[in-house]
Structures are given as C-alpha cells and as structure tokens.
C-alpha cells in the first residue's frame, strides 16, 4: 500500500485512542521491563503505555516511516523502530505485547496470535484490539462500490478479505497456550458532524487498499460513488449530526 497519512489518521485521534485506553485498562501486569506497541502508528497508543509504566522500556514498532516520523515528532525521546509487524521476533521475552488496530491488516490469525503469545514471558500479556466492523454499512458499501465499475476485476480480491474472527475463534486459538483469555466486543457510537466525516474516517484506514489499486482517473469517481452511498446509509439526526457505529474486538491473553 501507499504510505499512511498521519494527518488524515489523527483527525479522529480521540476516537481511535479510546479503544486503546479500554484495552489497557484490562491489562494486569506489575512493573514490566519490556513493553512493545506493535503497529504504534503516530504513537498515540504508545503514549498510554509509557504513562502507565514510566519505568519500563516501551518500544513502538511500525512499518510506515511517515507514521514513525510523526511519533518521533511527538516524543523525540521514545524508542521507535521501523519493522514488519508480521515478522516481529524480539531478542528476549516481552512482558507486554500490545497492539491497537493493527493486526486486522494481517492474515492467518490462527498462526499469528500463538506466535505473538510465544514472545511473551510466563505471566506476561498479549493485548490486542482490532476493528470488527466489516458487516457495517460503511464497510459493506466499500465492497458494493468496488464490485460495480471498471475497477471491479482489480478490487474483487480486496473485497473478499475479512481476516478478523469472532470471540470463539480467538479463545480457541489462545486458550491451550494461555493461563487466561479475556475476549470481548464493544460497539462505539461516534457522533459525526455529517456523513462526509465518516468518509474521511474510512479513507484514513479501510478504504486505503481500494484507493491504492485505482488509477488517478478512477479515484474521483470511486470516491464520489462511495460518498453518495454513505450519505444514503447514514442519515442526519434531528440536530444535524450523524451516528457512526463501529464494532471492535478485544483480546487479552495471559501466558
């Protein structure tokens, strides 16, 4: 994919950071030595980890240099590492491996999650939050627009990729390897000023693989069709605002 846009991503930083706060609140580890934030992005979730454990070594790892540049700008003293999250392999066991809204970009979770847990020391924690919003109108309409246009052949495969499982899937994958597995889902309801704000949100994340696959000439038409669908699917409330529901899944596994 093309590089991430930190400005677009952080436009909704408060809403994107709240799930990281909720995930961290369920992590019970005292005085960790090594805490890793996988897919740290611009460092918003990493800042929560550093505040929770000020004496720990907190490493932020991300593959995107633009996001890491923003993280370094915010916290020049932080430990920022450019690396492939899928190939994460620390040289010593971690006390906490934390990942907020990253692992849904990767596939084969039945292998990925046990491998990440294996990098956690006994008594340590793997804590993960991922969007599980693929059935929502905002995401269904991406697939519908992708299937109807000159780009349909190129976008068909992207529209079929739904790597995130349900709570039972993650429990079954991790329970044989963990002393405790805590899994839950939360549906956040974001109050948006209009339907265009929902488009801006999705363009910062889930829409990116589709936009990247289009030609420069196709992108305006694709965006226009998607915006029209969002305006239809998310009508304004009596006060003019629009409600944007977004479901997320959380997994906390103690080794």
Rounded to the nearest integer, the mean pLDDT of the chain is 92
Q: How would residue 206 be classed by pLDDT, with cut points 50, 70 and 90? A: confident
User: pLDDT confidence of 154, banded at 50, 70, 90?
Assistant: confident
Q: What is the pLDDT of residues 84-134, one digit of tens each?
A: 999 999 999 999 999 999 999 999 999 999 999 999 999 999 999 999 998
- Using pLDDT thresholds of 50, 70 and 90, give the confidence band for residue 159: low
Confidence of residue 26 (pLDDT cuts 50, 70, 90): very high
**3 state SS for 121-159:** EEEEEEEEEEECCCCCHHHHHHHHHHCCCCCHHHHHHHH
Specify the CATH superfamily of domain 6-254: Vaccinia Virus protein VP39 (3.40.50.150)
Q: What is the DSSP string of 12-38?
A: GHHHHHHHHHHHHTT---SS-SEEEEE
Residue 1 has pLDDT above 60, yes or no: no
DSSP class of 76: T
Is the model's pLDDT at 207 over the cut of 90? no
What are the extents of the domains in the chain? 6-254
Predicted TM-score (pTM) of the model is 0.92
Residue range 33-92, pLDDT digits in tens: 999 999 999 999 999 999 999 999 999 999 999 999 999 999 999 999 999 999 999 999
Q: Which residues contact 97 (CB under 8 A, 6 or more apart)?
A: 36, 38, 116, 117, 119, 120, 124, 125, 126, 127
């Amino acid at each position: 994919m093309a590089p991430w846009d930190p400005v677009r991503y952080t436009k909704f930083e408060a809403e994107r950071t709240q799930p990281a706060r909720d995930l961290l609140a369920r992590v019970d580890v005292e005085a960790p030595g090594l805490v890793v934030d996988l897919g740290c992005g611009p460092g918003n979730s990493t800042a929560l980890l550093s505040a929770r454990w000020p004496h720990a070594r907190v490493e932020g790892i991300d593959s995107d240099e633009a996001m890491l540049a923003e993280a370094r700008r915010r916290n020049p003293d932080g430990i920022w590492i450019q690396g492939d999250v899928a190939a994460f392999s620390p040289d010593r066991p971690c006390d906490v491996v934390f990942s907020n809204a990253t692992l849904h970009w990767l596939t084969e979770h039945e292998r990925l999650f046990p491998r990440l847990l294996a990098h956690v020391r006994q008594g340590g924690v793997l804590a993960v939050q991922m969007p599980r919003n693929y059935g929502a109108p905002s995401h269904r309409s991406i697939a519908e627009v992708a299937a109807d246009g000159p780009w349909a052949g190129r976008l068909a495969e992207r529209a079929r990729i739904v790597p995130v499982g349900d709570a039972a899937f993650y429990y079954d994958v991790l329970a044989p390897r963990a002393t405790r597995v805590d899994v839950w889902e939360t549906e956040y309801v974001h109050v948006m000023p209009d339907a265009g704000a929902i488009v801006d949100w999705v363009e910062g994340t889930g829409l990116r693989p589709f936009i990247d696959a289009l030609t420069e000439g196709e992108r305006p038409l694709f965006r226009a069709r998607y915006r029209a669908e969002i305006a239809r699917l998310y009508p304004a409330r009596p006060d003019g605002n629009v409600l944007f529901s977004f479901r997320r899944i959380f997994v906390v596994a103690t080794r």
